[in-house]
Amino acid sequence: MKFSEETMSILKNFSAINNGIYFEQGNVVKTVSPKKSILAEAKTEDSVPVEFGIYDLNKFLGAISLFDSPELSFESNHLVMTSDKAKVIYSFCDASLVVRPPNKELALPNVDVSFKLSKDIYDSTVKAALVLQVPEIGIVGDGSKLKLQAYESKNNLSEQFSYELGDTDQNFSIIFKVENFSKLMSTDYNVSMSSKGLSKFVSDDEKLVYHIA
């Protein structure tokens, strides 16, 4: 089998969430951050035939990138990458060496806020947070407008970027660390948020799901 460009992009994104990963048999790939603040799941074009662990995902992706599009063969404790006459043997790691997501499906306890977040607005807000060097991104309702803001919530004098997402009659602020919010892949999302401190971002094609605390 071969990994598609889409699968490689997903794995590269997941490597920023957790350096290791454990593949379950099938076409669903999951990861969780070491502090359990981000849980990500993706349905890929490719289906792996066995379960296996990768201790260093960036190193694994780097090994694949040594070839244009290598053939992947799975053995009991390693994977073989081949292209023409070249070959790489890459060893699996034990499952206990990888921080793994829970087996059960994670559901929001309740949905207090929901909205659509476009790729362009997501990209602009993350970029603004990095340019302004502010630590947080918030979903804020002021009783009139729903806004996505890059700012420092406890400092009224900090630089601030905001984008109006729509109308709301609620007053609230749901705040994320930039380092967590910026881990999402750049695409359009349907967002659901709970006052219990959990949010869910689902891509329009429903192939990507992120839970962020």
Q: For each successive 10 residues of the chain (213 residues), what is the average pLDDT?
A: 96 98 97 95 96 98 95 96 96 96 85 95 98 97 95 93 94 94 97 92 97 93
Q: Give pLDDT, residue 104.
A: 80
C-beta of residue 201 within 8 angstroms of C-beta of residue 191:
yes
Q: In sequence order, what E strands does the chain have?
A: 21-23, 26-32, 38-48, 52-54, 71-74, 78-83, 86-91, 113-117, 136-142, 145-151, 161-167, 171-177, 189-194, 198-203, 208-212
Q: Give pLDDT, residue 44.
A: 96
Q: Give pLDDT, residue 102.
A: 87
Q: How many Cβ atoms from other residues are within 10 Å of residue 42's Cβ?
A: 22
Q: Give pLDDT, residue 196.
A: 87
C-beta of residue 52 within 8 angstroms of C-beta of residue 92:
yes
